[in-house]
Amino acid sequence: MGAALAHLPEYLGAHVLLSLSAIALGFAISLPLAVAVSRLPRLRALALGIASVIQTIPGLALLALFYPLLLALSAFTLRSFGFGFRALGFLPALLALTLYSILPVLRNTLTALAGTDPAVLMAARAVGMTPRQSLWKVELPLAAPFVMAGLRTASVWVIGTATLSTPVGQTSLGNYIFTGLQTENWVFVLFGCVAAAMLSLVVDRLLALAESGIATGSRPRLGAAALGLLVVLGTSLAPLVAGADRPVVVGTKSFEEQYVLGALIEERLQRAGYPSERRDGLGSTVIFRALRAGDVDVYVDYSGTLWTTQMHRSDMPGREVVLKELAQWLARRGVKDLGPLGFENAYAFAMRADRAKALGVESLTDLAAVAPRLKIGGDFEIFSRPEWQAVVRAYGLRFSMQRQYQANFMYRALVDGDVDVISAFSSDGRIAQYGLKLLADPRHALPPYDAVLLVSPRFAADEKFLGVLRPLVGALDLTAMQRANLMVDDAHDKKTPEEAAAWLTRHSTH
C-alpha cells in the first residue's frame, strides 16, 4: 500500500494529463464535426459510422496500432523536414484516446440537433435569423445539455481506457494494473482500478454539475464545475511540471525479470545522478524499435530473441558467434550492446516432473511422440515467434490443443494439470519452486538467450553514461536471477521488483 501510494503523484499526474488532453482534443474535433455534418445526411451517416467502428476496436489494439503508424510518420518527417518526434508514450496514447472520445459527443450532438423542436426552428427562421444565427443562438444552446452528457460519457470511457496506455510506454494509473498483474501484486492491481474509478467519478460529477449549470442557466454551478476541474488538473499536474528535464528512459518487457532488471538499472542511474523514468510492460518488438528511435534509452533483451525476430536468422551457429554477430548488427544500427549480463533466459519447454516421468519424456524428441495427445500452454508471444516454428519443424511437434496465458498463470495451469507442457523461461524461479522438468533440445532448434544490456543511439557514445551501467555486465548469474525472480513471484513472501533488485545488487558476482 505504501509502495503504491509512493507512485501515485507520478501515475495520477500522467493519467490526468493524458486523459484530459484527449477529452479536450476529442471535444474540439467532435463538436465542430457534428455541427458541420448535421445538415448533410450522407456525411452525417458516414461520420457516425466511422466513429462507431473506431469504438468497436478494442482499446488496447487501437493504442498499439498508433505506435508503428507514428514511428513511420516520424521517420518520414525526419527524412523530409529534418525533425522527428517520439512515437512512443504520450502521442500514440493521446491520439488513440482522442479517437475513442469522439463518438459520444458526436452522437449526442447530432441526435440533439436532429431532435430540435420544428416549431422552434420555424420560429428562428420567421424572426429573421440566418441559418448560422439559428444554429448558434437556438440549436446549439438547446443541444448543450445533451452535448455535455456526451462529454461525460466520453470522459468516463477515456479515463478508464487510459489505463491501457501503459504498454505503449505512457505512464498512467494502468502502471499499477500491469505491474501488479505481472508480479501478482493484487494490491497494486486493486489500487490502480480504484484510483482510475475515483478519478472517473470525480470528473463525471464535476461535468454533471456543469451539465445542470448549462441546463438551468446557473452561473454559480458552471463556475463551481470549472473550478473543480481546474483543481483536479492543477493538483495532478504539479508533480509533472516540477521535473521537466528529459530523463533517461528505462524500458521493460512484460514479465517479472524485466521489472527487476528495470529497477536494478534505474537504481544505478539514479545513484549516478541521472534522472530516469520507466516505460514498463512493452511488447518485445515494440521495445526494440522504441530503443532505436530513442523513445527508450536502455533495456535488457535476450540474444536469441533479437537473433530470430530482428535479424531473422534461423541458423544456430553457437552462443559465442550469436553474441558477436548480434553486437555488430546492433552497432550498425547505432545501438550499443554493452554485453551479456551473465545469465540466460531461454525459451525452454517444461513439464511437471511426475507427468514427464509417466510419459517417459526427457527431450523434445520424446515429446514429439506423445504430443498429439497433449495440451501445450504458452505466453502471448511464443506461438507467433520464429523459435516456435523452428522447434515445430525440427521435431515435428503437433499438440491436441494450444492455449495462451499471462506468464504467471501459465505456470499455475501446468501445475494444476490444465496443460501438459508449457513454454517456460529458464531463469524463472518457479522452475525450481515447482520442481519442473525442462526438456532437452538435442537438435539445437532453440538459440541461446543471453541477457544483453542495450543502450539507445542517444547514449551509445556517452562513455560516462555507459560507465554507470557497465558494472552490470557479467554480474548476474542464473541462480541469483532465479532467486530474485522468485522473490517477486512468491505468493507468501512477496517482494517488490525494487526490493529484489536491491537484493541482487548485494549478491551480484562483482
* Binding of residue 119 to other proteins (CB under 8 A): yes
CA angle 27, 162, 241 (to 5 degrees): 85
To other proteins, the closest distance from the beta carbon of 158 in angstroms equals: 29
- What is the C-alpha radius of gyration for the chain, rounded to an integer number of angstroms? 27
Output 216 or 328, the one with its CB closest to other proteins.
Answer: 216
* Binding of residue 129 to other proteins (CB under 8 A): yes
- 230 vs 99: CA distance, rounded Å: 24
Output 77 or 216, the one with its CB closest to other proteins.
Answer: 216
To other proteins, the closest distance from the beta carbon of 124 in angstroms equals: 8
CA angle 280, 471, 473 (to 5 degrees): 70
Output 142 or 359, the one with its CB closest to other proteins.
Answer: 142
Task: Count Cβ atoms below 10 Å from residue 231 Cβ, excluding itself.
Answer: 12
To other proteins, the closest distance from the beta carbon of 212 in angstroms equals: 14
Output 76 or 136, the one with its CB closest to other proteins.
Answer: 136
CA angle 250, 268, 14 (to 5 degrees): 40
Residue among 130, 218, 402, 479 that touches other proteins (CB under 8 A): 130
Q: Which stretch binds other proteins (CB under 8 A): 125-133, 232-240, 308-316, 384-392?
A: 125-133
**280 with 175: CB under 8 angstroms?**
yes
* Binding of residue 442 to other proteins (CB under 8 A): no
Under rule CB under 8 A, which residues in 137-176 are in contact with other proteins?
Answer: 137-138, 141-142
* Binding of residue 122 to other proteins (CB under 8 A): yes
Which amino acid appears at position 170 of this protein? Q
Under rule CB under 8 A, which residues in 196-255 are in contact with other proteins?
Answer: 217
Residue among 21, 55, 133, 406 that touches other proteins (CB under 8 A): 133
* Binding of residue 114 to other proteins (CB under 8 A): no
Those residues whose C-beta lies under 8 Å from the C-beta of residue 215, and which sit 6 or more positions away, are 144, 145
Residue among 117, 320, 354, 462 that touches other proteins (CB under 8 A): 117
Per-residue CA distances from 472 to 324, 331, 438 (Å): 19, 20, 28
Residue among 16, 124, 287, 390 that touches other proteins (CB under 8 A): 124
To other proteins, the closest distance from the beta carbon of 138 in angstroms equals: 6
Here the cell at position 383 is 506461438
Output 210 or 348, the one with its CB closest to other proteins.
Answer: 210
Q: Across the strands, what pairs with 56?
A: none
Task: Count Cβ atoms below 10 Å from residue 328 Cβ, excluding itself.
Answer: 10
User: Residues in contact with other proteins, total (CB under 8 A)?
Assistant: 20
Which helix (H) or strand (E) covers residue 300, if one does? strand 298-302
* Binding of residue 136 to other proteins (CB under 8 A): no
* Binding of residue 39 to other proteins (CB under 8 A): no
Burial class (CB in 10 A: 0-12, 13-18, 19+), 482: buried
- 403 vs 376: CA distance, rounded Å: 6
Q: Which stretch binds other proteins (CB under 8 A): 37-45, 115-123, 248-256, 272-280?
A: 115-123
* Binding of residue 123 to other proteins (CB under 8 A): yes
In this structure, are strands 336-344 and 450-455 parallel, antiparallel, or unpaired?
antiparallel
Q: Which residues bind other proteins (CB under 8 A)?
A: 117-130, 133, 137-138, 141-142, 217
